[in-house]
Structures are given as structure tokens and as C-alpha cells.
Chain A
Amino acid sequence: EVQLVESGGGLAQPGGSLRLSCAGSEVTFSNSWMSWVRQAPGKGLEWVAHIKPDGSEQFYVDSVRGRVTISRDNAKQSLFLQMNSLRAEDTAVYYCVSWGTVAFWGQGTLVAVSS
């Protein structure tokens, strides 16, 4: 079954760092724009970062720009989100998403930022 599997979430202190990973398959990665979308507890969806199929260009929402880096390794069908200077408002479930004529969502990984 085609799927995306996120990992790397957990509890972090304010100001700390986490690196999220997303493992996919050829079907989910090939020629696909990829994103990280987050959902704070009890809240709606927020697009965090977006990356071109070849990784040449990245886009960030203002609230994370300068603190977060999205990257990908197409040879390993992997997507990453390096998160630095974490804040309480970054607490959310982070979903890895592959966009194309078929869209795939992972199961999500929880990031909790608290002292």
C-alpha cells in the first residue's frame, strides 16, 4: 500500500530543535510537490512549507520562515523538516503531504513544545 510515514516528533523545549522525516515511495515522490501541513490541537489545517519536485525551490509560511528548513532526498524518497528555535505555538500534528493528480497524506507526527 502506498503511504507516507512521518517520524521525529516529540517533546521539545522552547528554543529547541527537532528534525521531522517522512519516508515515502517512488509513487508518492516521483515528480511531486511535497509539503508539511500542521494542525494545532483542536484547530484547523495550516500549510507550513512546500518544496518543488527537484528541491530547487522552497516556500515557507511567515510564522516559521527563518526557523524552519524543508528539504528532500528523492533518491531515498524522503522529505525532511528541520525545525529550530521552537515556540509553544509550533505545537501541532505535522503531516507530510505529496501533491499530484493523486494526493497522499501521512498519519502525522506530534510536536509538543513546552518547558
Chain B
Amino acid sequence: DVVLTQSPLSLPVTVGQPASISCRSSQSLAHSDGNTRLGWIQQRPGQSPRRLIYDGSKRDSGVPDRFSGSGSGTDFTLKISKVETEDVGLYYCMQYKHWPHTFGQGTKLEIK
């Protein structure tokens, strides 16, 4: 199975400051169609997960533009340009190129 390794696992951030989460895959997630089969999921406390980013860098509808995804092959990053209090929660990367699709172990973002 493809292993996704996230870092850091805990991310204390001051409101208004940037934040960055890394996701490293044990196999390439590049697809022959030119897209990357990597997404980012946000789960706020007590809520269902929601997808923020798909195909490596495409933002889902309604996702603020302070969220951005980048990377290729096996190394990916989720960046939040200026953290807001509503960004508190867990963030997971996920891959959907290889079955079984898998998630990273999650990064907990908290406000300092």
C-alpha cells in the first residue's frame, strides 16, 4: 500500500501567520493524464471531513484562496497563507492513484 507521511504532526500557529504541511508519498502519484492524484482534507473539530484541494493544486469550490497545494511526484505541500481561527482542526493528505487509496496520519493545527 502507498504510505503517506505527513509532517509536522502538530502545528501551533499564530493567527495571521503562514502555515505549511508536508506530505511525502512512498510511490509516485503522477498520472499519465498529467494530473497528480493527491488531495488535502480538512476536518474541523466535531465536523465531517471536507476536501480542500484535489489533483495536487486545484481548490475545491468555496475553499478560501489562502489555501494552496503544490508539489509533484512524491513530495507535496499544503500552505495556508494567513491562518485564521476557523482553520483549527486536522489536515490529511490523501492519494487516489493506487488502490487502496490511502490517507496520511493527519496534522493537528492549533492556534498559539
Report A's interface with B, CB cutoff 8 A: 35, 37, 44-47, 50, 59-62, 95, 99, 101-103, 105-108
Residues of B within 8 A of A108 (CB): 48
| Main secondary structure on A side of the interface with B | strand
Closest chain B residue, CB of each to CB of A46: B103
Assess the A95–B50 pair: CB atoms within 8 A: no
Chain B interface size band reads 20 to 34
Contact A47 B48 (CB under 8 A): no
B11 cross-chain contacts in A, Cβ below 8 A = none
Instruction: Please determine whether B101 and A47 come into contact, CB atoms closer than 8 angstroms.
Output: yes
Q: Which residues of B contact A95 (CB under 8 A)?
A: 48-49
- In the complex, the chain B residue whose C-beta lies closest to that of A48 is B100
Shortest A106–chain B CB gap in Å is 7
| A45 adjacent to B92 (CB under 8 Å) | yes
Chain B residues lying within 8 Å of A45, measured Cβ to Cβ, are 41, 43, 49, 92, 94, 103, 106
B48 touching A105, Cβ below 8 Å: yes
B97 within 8 A of A: no
